[in-house]
Amino acid sequence: MTSHLIFVFLYSNFKLRTRVMSLLVESLHTYKLIERGQVENIKLSWDGHER
């Protein structure tokens, strides 16, 4: 009975879970970019683009 309830709960929150997972992946990717220092390069290229 409880396993059935859990399955229904997970199924109903499938969209929510995928959204959370995508957010986690996105933040992790951004963190890796910052770690490599590529964000600074992006900022520099953006400054050059605005001039």
According to the model, what pLDDT value does residue 46 have? 66
pLDDT in tens, 1-51: 678 888 887 777 788 888 888 888 998 888 888 788 766 766 766 666 655
pTM: 0.41
One-letter identity of residue 23: L
According to the model, what pLDDT value does residue 30 have? 86
Across 1-51, the runs of DSSP E, i.e. the strands, are: none
Residue 34 tokens, joined: 């910052």
Residue 44 tokens, joined: 């520099």
CA distances from 15 to 12, 20, 23, 26, 45 (A): 8, 9, 12, 16, 36
